[in-house]
Amino acid sequence: MENSWPFITIIIPCRNESAFIAKVLENVLTQNYPQNKMEVFVVDGNSEDDTIEILKRYAVTNAWIKILINPAQIVPPALNLAIKQSTGDYIIRLDAHSIYATDYVSKIVETFQSSAADIVGGPMRAEGKTDFQKAVAYCTSTKMGVGNSSFHDENASGYVDSVYLGAWKRELFKEVGYFDEQMKRNQDDEFHYRAKSKGKKIYLNPEIRSVYYPRSTAKKLFSQYFQYGLYKPLVLKKVKSEIKIRHLIPAFFVTYLLLLIPFTFYHPLIFVTPLLLYFLLSVYFGFNSKLNLLSKLYCLIIFPILHISYGLGFIIGLFKSNKNNN
């Protein structure tokens, strides 16, 4: 039976992940997939904590765990470095901040074999340990928070624009190219959009299960979504066919807020009404949940953090990408 299982490559980019990397490697060790049918590349971005020491301990007892060093310290070069050295029929990316079901790898392989997809993956299932994280997890699973992005819906399935993390057929990289190393963020979206624009198929299977833990503070969340917004215009300039209204709404919202103060003086009712509606929608989505009261209240600040940070980043990113393309 094992002879019929394809050989797979797992890639784990990391930097300063001493608090999480052991859990991820334990996840790999407990997969219900034969270990002699996989190789694992952990690509470290010159960690300054104990990450390398932890990796070396695991590599000593598991020869199929290989450590690579990524001087660039960001994800796209880490992925490209490992992909070029890999030998698996399928290549699977794992993230250090997620936890994976024991059948995560086998479900990916099954999905490749049962679908005509070139890229497969599961939804982003966010969970929180603190009240703030629980609120972030909820907000980023709602249409109010992220629009109609399919991979944030844990029940969605079928052909989509992108998936969480992702797994890829080896031959895809010969046809589409590698990850864009300009992309500090959104490198997975850019690659998946580029593949889709070339006729490749992306399949979302909710049976591919993992759990992601969101940022734990408002400052970290703002920074994360600001960077998502900052790099999105560059993605959309490269693959114009994937421009969606959900990508643009936060930038419109930030523009509206910037115009609110000067124009409210002349037309207060017209200009304040949208903000009131936004607040009411935030209350509706926040309190129409199973969260506790504190988490519901957190939603009222998390929705604007998501939209303002992303929108501000997007506006700045428009000028940045224009500069890069001149």
Same domain, 185 and 310: no
Task: Indicate whether 266 pLDDT > 70.
Answer: no
- Report d(CA 186, CA 228) in Å as an integer: 6
- Report d(CA 324, CA 308) in Å as an integer: 24
Residue 180 in any domain: the answer is yes
Q: Which of 95, 100, 101 is nearest to 79 (CA)?
A: 95
Residue 326: pLDDT band (50, 70, 90) is very low
Contact 213/133 with Cβ under 8 angstroms? yes
Residue 234 pLDDT: 85
Q: Looking at residues 115-130, what average pLDDT do you find?
A: 90
- Report d(CA 93, CA 303) in Å as an integer: 29
- Report d(CA 172, CA 166) in Å as an integer: 13
What residue type is 214 in one-letter code? Answer: P
Same domain, 103 and 29: yes
The lowest-confidence range among 66-75, 239-248, 273-282 is 239-248
Same domain, 210 and 252: no
pLDDT tens by residue, 217-248? 999 999 999 999 998 888 888 777 667 788 88
Per-chain mean pLDDT for the chain? 89
Same domain, 164 and 291: no
CATH of the domain at 190: 3.90.550.10
Residue 264 pLDDT: 64
Per cent of the chain over pLDDT 90 is 60
Could you tell me the residue range of the domain that residue 137 belongs to? 2-216
Q: Looking at residues 283-308, what average pLDDT do you find?
A: 95
Element (H, E) at 144: helix 143-146
| Boundary residue ending a domain (152, 186, 216) | 216
Task: Indicate whether 323 pLDDT > 70.
Answer: no
Contact 42/55 with Cβ under 8 angstroms? yes
Same domain, 243 and 129: no
Task: Indicate whether 31 pLDDT > 50.
Answer: yes
Q: Looking at residues 145-152, what average pLDDT do you find?
A: 75
Domain count, the chain: 2
Highest average pLDDT, of 2-16, 217-231, 265-279, comes from 217-231
Q: Characterize the bridge pairing of strands 8-14 and 38-44.
A: parallel
Q: Which of 80, 314, 299 is nearest to 182 (CA)?
A: 80
Q: Characterize the bridge pairing of strands 210-212 and 158-159.
A: unpaired
Task: Indicate whether 271 pLDDT > 50.
Answer: yes
pLDDT tens by residue, 126-141? 889 999 999 999 999 8
The lowest-confidence range among 122-126, 151-155, 282-286 is 151-155
Residue 262 in any domain: the answer is yes
Same domain, 186 and 317: no
Residue 222 in any domain: the answer is no
Same domain, 15 and 122: yes
Residue 242 pLDDT: 67
DSSP string, 222-234: HHHHHHHHHHHHH
Residue 48 in any domain: the answer is yes
Give pTM, 2 decimals.
0.84
Residue 300 in any domain: the answer is yes
Same domain, 171 and 66: yes
Per cent of the chain over pLDDT 70 is 93
Residue 66 pLDDT: 94
- Report d(CA 154, CA 206) in Å as an integer: 6
Residue 228 in any domain: the answer is no
Element (H, E) at 98: strand 98-100
pLDDT tens by residue, 160-212? 888 888 899 999 999 999 998 888 888 888 898 899 888 999 999 999 999 98
Residue 229 in any domain: the answer is no
The lowest-confidence range among 11-15, 92-96, 101-105, 234-238 is 234-238
